[in-house]
């Protein structure tokens, strides 16, 4: 799923052309020393309590799968609260948007799709999510506080996100971008309100 460019007609999570994979996938980089330092700063009962309900949720997710041209994607979802176009920033047939999502730092996204704009005071006519695809292999034993905190540190790092737009039937469509969407949570406390789900993508 690591690509940028145009979406395939088969499914919006697949590229229209294999050359889209020539762009190196964005991968987070965190040294072992950085992980240990961050874990040490999280060693308290409040943080451990915050993570206690996370692992059953993540562990209950099934692996991603295709069925009937639809991708069932397990993910951590962040509700988009604002989409605003950037005046004068269009690049030919492409549009640039400032996107805000609950729990994430603000983002700029460039796409060929014309998105429905909304913000506080202008109700949304369509639901959008920025999602972090979840790999079941990342789930750890909930009884291991050390490993749990290490995962929490990972979740606090930047990640490659998908922008999804809800369709009339309740399914979602991936909005293709000409660059990798790099998102990051504002505060590790987002774990309290984490939204773990499996979305059906056309």
What's the whole-number mean pLDDT along residues 191-201? Answer: 87
Q: Model confidence over 34-63: pLDDT tens digits?
A: 666 666 666 555 566 666 667 677 778 888
The half-sphere exposure of 175 on its side-chain side, counting CA atoms within 13 A, is 26
Q: How far apart are CA 143 and CA 64, in angstroms?
A: 25
Rg (CA), the chain: 18
**Whether this model's pTM surpasses 0.75:** yes
Q: What are phi and psi of 4, to 5 degrees?
A: -135, 155
What's the whole-number mean pLDDT along residues 69-90? Answer: 87
Listed in sequence order, the residues at least 6 apart from 197 whose beta carbon sits closer than 8 Å to its beta carbon are 74, 75, 77
pLDDT of residue 78: 95
Q: Residue 14 pLDDT > 70, yes or no?
A: yes
Going from the C-alpha of 64 to that of each of 81, 123, 191, 197, 198, the distances in angstroms are: 26, 32, 22, 11, 8
Q: Residue 86 pLDDT > 70, yes or no?
A: yes
What's the whole-number mean pLDDT along residues 17-21? Answer: 64
Question: Is residue 75 within 8 Å of residue 199, measured between CB atoms?
Answer: yes
What percent of the chain has a predicted confidence (pLDDT) above 70? 70
CA dihedral 90, 94, 99, 101 (to 10 degrees): 180
Question: Is residue 83 within 8 Å of residue 117, measured between CB atoms?
Answer: yes
Between residues 41 and 103, which one has the greater pLDDT?
103
Q: Residue 177 pLDDT > 80, yes or no?
A: yes
pLDDT of residue 52: 64
Listed in sequence order, the residues at least 6 apart from 33 whose beta carbon sits closer than 8 Å to its beta carbon are none
Helix (H) or strand (E) holding 57: helix 54-59
């Amino acid at each position: 799923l690591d690509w940028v460019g145009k979406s395939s007609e088969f499914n919006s999570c697949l590229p229209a052309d294999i050359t889209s994979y020539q762009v190196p996938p964005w991968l987070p980089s965190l040294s072992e020393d950085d992980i240990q330092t961050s874990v040490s700063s999280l060693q308290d009962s409040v943080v451990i309590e915050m993570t206690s309900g996370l692992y059953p949720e993540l562990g209950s997710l099934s692996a991603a799968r295709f069925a009937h041209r639809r991708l069932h994607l397990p993910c951590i979802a962040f509700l988009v609260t604002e989409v605003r176009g950037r005046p004068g920033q269009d690049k030919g047939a492409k549009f640039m948007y400032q996107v805000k999502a609950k729990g994430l730092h603000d983002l700029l996204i460039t796409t060929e799709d014309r998105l429905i704009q909304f913000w506080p005071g202008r109700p949304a006519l369509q639901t959008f999510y920025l999602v972090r695809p979840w790999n079941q292999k990342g789930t750890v034993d909930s009884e291991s506080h050390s490993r749990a905190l290490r995962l929490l540190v990972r979740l606090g790092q930047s990640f490659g996100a998908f922008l999804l737009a809800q369709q009339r039937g309740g399914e979602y469509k991936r909005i293709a971008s000409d660059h990798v969407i790099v998102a990051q949570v504002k505060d590790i406390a987002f774990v309290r309100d984490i939204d773990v789900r499996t979305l059906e993508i056309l």
